[in-house]
Structure 1
Amino acid sequence: MRELKNWISILAGSAILSFGINNFIIQNQLAEGGFFGISLLLLYAFHLKFGYSFLLLNVPLFYIGYRMFGRRFLVKTFAGVALVSLFSLVIPENITPPLPNDKLLAALYGGVVNGIGLGLIFRSGATTGGSDIIARIVNYKWGYSIGRTLFAIDILVISIIAVLQGMMIAMYSLVALFIAAKVIDVVIEGVATSKSAMIISDRTHEIAKAIHDQLERGTTLLKGRGGYTGQDKEVLYCVVSREEIIKVQQIVHDIDPQAFVIVTDVHDVLGEGFSPLVKQPE
């Protein structure tokens, strides 16, 4: 059942991504980073359809990726590339009206729609090939960070876009890239943001008991040592919902007003009381 959901997610994500590229990016002559950007440049310069060029650019990488990472890697990567290429050829480019006088709005819409599509694809364990494959190969052969390699490829492609299409198009395209990256995070991690609290106090056991009794949340006691005093300390750590963090602060204040509290955002909290812990797609 989980594998079926993953394939449905790849299918839906590919369709949404293709819709965004056709109706917001291409319609308004914007661009993207990575192999998406290269394919769009080929479309604008030589009228080579995006779906054909995107698939052809990835063919050599499929072979290299298969030799280095095996069949499992190839299957879902090929599915992502093939479906995006197919949908980009069959989804019309005139479903939404063009926004030639408001490219910023087109970039924002395009970034949101593309981010949703890519997020669904990535969440299922698939990729859209291109830069992702290159980044993995570079990481495997030379140990360079995948994130840095992807960033370098995006910067290179956007620089070419700036030269060929103009600086304004490149800047609007960067806006679309930035929005898409944020939306991808939301799709993968979820909209709900939990809070973690690290509490340094001489009365950690009392605070922990109050959190257990009043919020029915678990806590963890960590061993610490004061950097200045050298004295051993117990550090209380807990994760709660965004709404409950105020209550935690009130509990700490009531029991030990001198306590030191650090509150941070946490994402993708799995386990009892939060999202269920499940096996991630391979």
Structure 2
Amino acid sequence: MKNILLIIVGSIVIALSISFLGMPNNIADGGLIGIALLLYHAYSFSPAIVNFLGFIIIVLISLRYLSKSVLLKSSLTVVLLSFFTFLTEPYGQALADPLIGAIFYGFFMGIGFALILFAGSSIGGGSTIALVLNKKFGWNVVLFTFISDVVVVLSGIFIIGVLNTLYTIIGLFIGKLTTDYIIGGVDSKKAFNIISPKSSEIAKRVTEELASSATYIKGSGVYSNSEHSILYIIVKNYNVVKLRKIVSEVDSDAFVVVNNVKDVSGGTFFVDKDDKHQGDTETMIEHNEEIKASETTT
């Protein structure tokens, strides 16, 4: 239910961006939405109908190669996106400055796209074709998606002109930043690597005061040739200052390295404050920066 709600809200945000900012201000995009917008600017074709028909063709091509669950989620998203776009198409009005339209087009597209990604779906288009080509020929998904988006965006030079194409690129850049910030910032965390002779005391205070677990990793110094424990702790961003304060109070000379964490899965990283057991986790952490091939450059 939560994922469906995210898809609905994300589709509405993207549809409003297309109707109120992209269409009236001569802004384009990458992928299938970009093609739909360019056909609108050139021939006044409905972006909603072009996007829907284009996706139907893509689905028919992809049926043999992609799982039904992937296609079903994408189909739901595209149907809702096309429907909401069709309802709002007549109401957009041009802004006095198209650059402002491009900036906010990218911003709201980034928000909508992030919500859809959170739901585990996509808005189809170039990324779906890229997945099919990867299955059939082993082509690189990200590279193909990027190239196809670039081709669509640059073809806008012949339809909306050089200036509006540059505005489009600015909008896409802002959209990507917005999507990355939302995906990476909503539940972002940091990993602390702490070397201190008082690591056990630091670990105890962390589990008691921050409701975070901790892991001991055995290590040895090259210069001193002595063994010691490295304390590995993952905390949510709002607890970073508190953890730094704890380390400083326990051992102001502790060696501390802090890394950004994009994704955390498995293991026990956060514990209930009321839980009497506050032992260590023995799980290895993998730091993954997921590259999501999308239909737009956002």
CA RMSD for the aligned pairs?
2.6
1:116 deviates by: 2.3
| 1:86 maps to amino acid | F
Provide structure 2 residue ranges, at least 5 long, that are not aligned to the other structure: 273-298
Report the 3-state secondary structure (helix = DSSP H, G, I; strand = E; otherwise coil) of the residue aligned with 1:218. coil
Tell me what 2:88 maps to.
Answer: 91
1:170 deviates by: 1.9
* Residues 212 and 270 in structure 2, CA contact (< 8 A), matched pair in contact too: no
Tell me what 1:151 maps to.
Answer: 146
The 5 A counterparts of 1:1-282 are: 4-94=1-91, 97-99=93-95, 101-189=96-184, 191-226=186-221, 231-267=226-262, 272=270
TM-score (norm 1): 0.83
| More moved, 39-48 vs 149-158 | 149-158
* Residues 14 and 117 in structure 1, CA contact (< 8 A), matched pair in contact too: yes
* Residues 10 and 121 in structure 1, CA contact (< 8 A), matched pair in contact too: yes
| 1:98 maps to amino acid | A
| 2:33 maps to amino acid | F
| 1:22 maps to amino acid | S
1:163 deviates by: 4.3
Instruction: Quote the Cα distance in structure 2 between the aligned partners of 1:189 and 1:175.
Output: 21
Instruction: Quote the Cα distance in structure 1 between the aligned partners of 2:248 and 2:68.
Output: 56
1:231 deviates by: 4.6
* Residues 43 and 50 in structure 1, CA contact (< 8 A), matched pair in contact too: yes
Report the 3-state secondary structure (helix = DSSP H, G, I; strand = E; otherwise coil) of the residue aligned with 1:223. strand
Instruction: Quote the Cα distance in structure 2 between the aligned partners of 1:262 and 1:147.
Output: 32
* Residues 65 and 73 in structure 1, CA contact (< 8 A), matched pair in contact too: no
Higher helix content, 1 or 2: 1
Report the 3-state secondary structure (helix = DSSP H, G, I; strand = E; otherwise coil) of the residue aligned with 1:27. coil
Question: Structure 2 vs 1, CA of residues 272 and 52 (structure 1 numbering), >3 Å: closer, same or farther?
Answer: same
1:186 deviates by: 4.5
| More moved, 27-36 vs 62-71 | 62-71
TM-score (norm 2): 0.79
1:5 deviates by: 2.7
Per-residue Cα deviation, 1:62-95 (whole angstroms, up to 9, x for no partner): 0222211232222121122222222211114435
| 1:23 maps to amino acid | F
1:104 deviates by: 2.3
Report the 3-state secondary structure (helix = DSSP H, G, I; strand = E; otherwise coil) of the residue aligned with 1:244. helix
* Residues 190 and 268 in structure 1, CA contact (< 8 A), matched pair in contact too: no
Report the 3-state secondary structure (helix = DSSP H, G, I; strand = E; otherwise coil) of the residue aligned with 1:82. helix
1:189 deviates by: 4.9
* Residues 220 and 227 in structure 2, CA contact (< 8 A), matched pair in contact too: yes
Instruction: Quote the Cα distance in structure 1 between the aligned partners of 2:197 and 2:142.
Output: 42
- Taking only the aligned residue pairs, the percentage that are identical comes to 31
Question: Structure 2 vs 1, CA of residues 44 and 215 (structure 1 numbering), >3 Å: closer, same or farther?
Answer: closer
* Residues 27 and 93 in structure 1, CA contact (< 8 A), matched pair in contact too: no
* Residues 52 and 78 in structure 2, CA contact (< 8 A), matched pair in contact too: yes
| 2:207 maps to amino acid | H
Per-residue Cα deviation, 1:171-216 (whole angstroms, up to 9, x for no partner): 2112221222233334445535333211123432232223234434
Per-residue Cα deviation, 1:89-143 (whole angstroms, up to 9, x for no partner): 1114435x421x3222212221222222222222222221111202222333344
* Residues 211 and 271 in structure 2, CA contact (< 8 A), matched pair in contact too: no
Aligned length: 269
Instruction: Quote the Cα distance in structure 1 between the aligned partners of 2:84 and 2:193.
Output: 48
* Residues 193 and 242 in structure 1, CA contact (< 8 A), matched pair in contact too: yes
* Residues 196 and 266 in structure 1, CA contact (< 8 A), matched pair in contact too: yes
Instruction: Quote the Cα distance in structure 1 between the aligned partners of 2:258 and 2:161.
Output: 44
Report the 3-state secondary structure (helix = DSSP H, G, I; strand = E; otherwise coil) of the residue aligned with 1:91. helix
